[in-house]
Amino acid sequence: MIPRIDKTYKNIRRFQQILGVIIKYGFGDILDRLRIEASIERGKRFLRLSPEEGGAETLTTPMRLRMALEELGPTFIKLGQILSTRPDLLPVSYVREFQHLQDQVPGFPFETALKTISDELHREPMEIFSRIEPEPLAAASISQVHRATLVSGEEVVIKVRRPGVVKTVEADIDILYYLAHQIERHFPEFGMTNPTGVVREFEKGIQREMDFTFERNHLTRFHKAFAEDTHIVIPGVYWEFCTKRVLTEQFLEGIKVTELDTGSDLLKVDRLYLAKKGCEAVLRQILDLGLFHGDPHPGNVLIMGHDRIGFLDFGIVGRLDPQTRETIILLLSAIIKRDLDRFVRYLLLIGIPLGAFDRRGFRNDALLFIDTYSGLGKQRLEVGKMLGQFLELLRQYRIQIPSDLVLLIKAVITIEGVGMMLSPTYNIMETLEPFVTNLVNRQLQPTEVLNRVGRYAEETLFFAKRVPKDFGEALRQIRENKLEIGFRHKGLNTLASTIERSTNRLALAVFAGALILGSSIIIKFRIGPTIKGVSIPGIIGFALAFFVGLWVVIGILRSKRL
């Protein structure tokens, strides 16, 4: 069954537009393999442009795909941005190209923003805000942001969701599901990447991003976690002025890292100190809080004085459960200490090999990976480059890790880049190594060990309490002949078909052998009508055995398996 096919064709014009853009950028051969020839012709008529006319054939494949995503609009731009954080799924060339994707979207009218605020907060905007700047501070595919002042005097920013974006995204996701299903059917080489699963994960992520209550909750938690930190600033949230479509938060006065050199008042800041504090903040989020900013790029980092740094835009957030967090701490410790055995062991606790796994080959390549960095001092070690090669190693051996863990690695790589932008002499290892060592030592403290033992004991006790009840229920169902066992197979249809073909060939071979034996007896004793003393039924039997045997041999040769 093709997912959501009915809804997809209700949006046929959008579907045709997508096909037209795909053709424009030279991917018509892919559509041929997807077996949607009729739709391809409609797409060509809709756009009336061939790849040659667009000049796409002179560009690299990653560049053409990036340009196609940009032309297809908000949903596809967001998809490309998410894929740019997934080097475990795509080759490095595509990941790097997708990092250039930008939300080049014009803002929507100020009157529309005011109407949305009024509809969501059930009050006239000027009853809440004494001033709202008509010109947006920023406009993106999902929302735009206006600076404002509350009637109580606090400086704030109002994030307003773009009208109609939900319907647009839902229609595009329907089409993405359809295309992902077709790719799985006709491109078996992409089976390991699970295109439908990628779309499902993207759908959940973009739905959370369009619902501002998630960002409100994240901001509140981060704000509380860093409330006592005098160096890190997270905007506060005004809950009474927040809904799914409107988010009101504290305005932070500062200068973006990307604009630091133009800010004369902040030219004398201690850049090395700020780089260290910014990286420490992200590591605390990851390894202490278990909730971290998923995109701490330079535009989302503010310099607010000589020793204060602020973080903006918590629309993309990663999460780690306590057990995964503990394993990551140990994995980082193994990398820092260049301990191969621990590295492989901890990695396979959080990673899942897809298909046949060459453990020896992986161990050898992991040893080479660690040896590459074991001779480097902390001053020469580029963590971003190391983590990038680490993800490439996982992709090579088809080891799937949680998407939040990939986002974590991307966040560390990004914040390292921000630190080096602030101060080229900064090395994140000077922050990472003592931080991880401290966390490992904390895990080994008696109180922490006892806490973990207590949690495991509680889980074991809960399981033990349920065993007798579950066992008794199973026995009761057996006595009453009501016990049903669910059986889920993977690939057994192919196995059954193979067994059936083999059985048929064996039966035909036995039949041919019986014909030869029977015909030999008939000819030996000259049974039935004869010609010149040779039994006609015997000759017919030999001929039939010859053709049956030939049929079996041809079948075996065609299957290319003896």
pLDDT tens-place string over residues 306-336? 788 999 888 888 888 888 888 888 877 777 7
Question: Given the structure tokens 């796994």, which residue do they identify?
Answer: 357
* Amino acid, res. 470: D
Residues 507-534: what's their mean pLDDT? 75
Distance CA 233, CA 294 (A): 17
Give the range with max mean pLDDT: 232-246, 340-354, 357-371, 384-398.
Answer: 232-246
Q: Encode pLDDT of 62-97 as tens digits.
A: 888 888 888 888 788 888 877 776 766 777 788 778
Q: Encode pLDDT of 199-211 as tens digits.
A: 888 888 888 889 9
The pLDDT score that the predictor gives to residue 43 is 46
Residues 232-258: what's their mean pLDDT? 92
Residues 536, 529 contacting (CB under 8 angstroms): yes
Q: Which positions ≥6 away from 187 have C-beta within 8 Å?
A: 33
Distance CA 121, CA 158 (A): 12
The pLDDT score that the predictor gives to residue 52 is 43
Residue 33 predicted with pLDDT over 80: no
The pLDDT score that the predictor gives to residue 445 is 67
Question: Given the structure tokens 């980092």, which residue do they identify?
Answer: 301
The pLDDT score that the predictor gives to residue 452 is 59
Nearest to 34 by CA among 175, 172, 187, 177: 187
Give me the residues paired with residue 143 across strands: 161
The pLDDT score that the predictor gives to residue 46 is 45
Give the confidence band of 49 by pLDDT, cuts at 50, 70, 90: very low
The pLDDT score that the predictor gives to residue 152 is 93
Percent helix / strand / coil, the chain, rounded to 5: 65, 10, 25
DSSP secondary structure string for all residues of 262-287: G-GGGTTS-HHHHHHHHHHHHHHIII
For residue 232, count other CB atoms closer than 10 A to its CB: 22
Q: What is the mean pLDDT of the chain?
A: 78
Segment among 51-55, 141-145, 427-431, 465-469 with least mean pLDDT: 51-55
Give the confidence band of 190 by pLDDT, cuts at 50, 70, 90: low
The two three-digit tokens of residue 31, written as one number: 């559509």
For residue 299, count other CB atoms closer than 10 A to its CB: 15
Residue 231 predicted with pLDDT over 50: yes
Residues 269, 303 contacting (CB under 8 angstroms): yes
The pLDDT score that the predictor gives to residue 150 is 95
Question: Given the structure tokens 């453990």, which residue do they identify?
Answer: 359
Farthest CA pair distance, the chain: 121
Give me the residues paired with residue 155 across strands: 149
Segment among 7-11, 371-375, 397-401, 534-538 with least mean pLDDT: 7-11
The two three-digit tokens of residue 229, written as one number: 């930190």
Distance CA 144, CA 137 (A): 8
Residues 40-61: what's their mean pLDDT? 53
Nearest to 84 by CA among 413, 343, 357, 361: 413
The two three-digit tokens of residue 33, written as one number: 């393999």
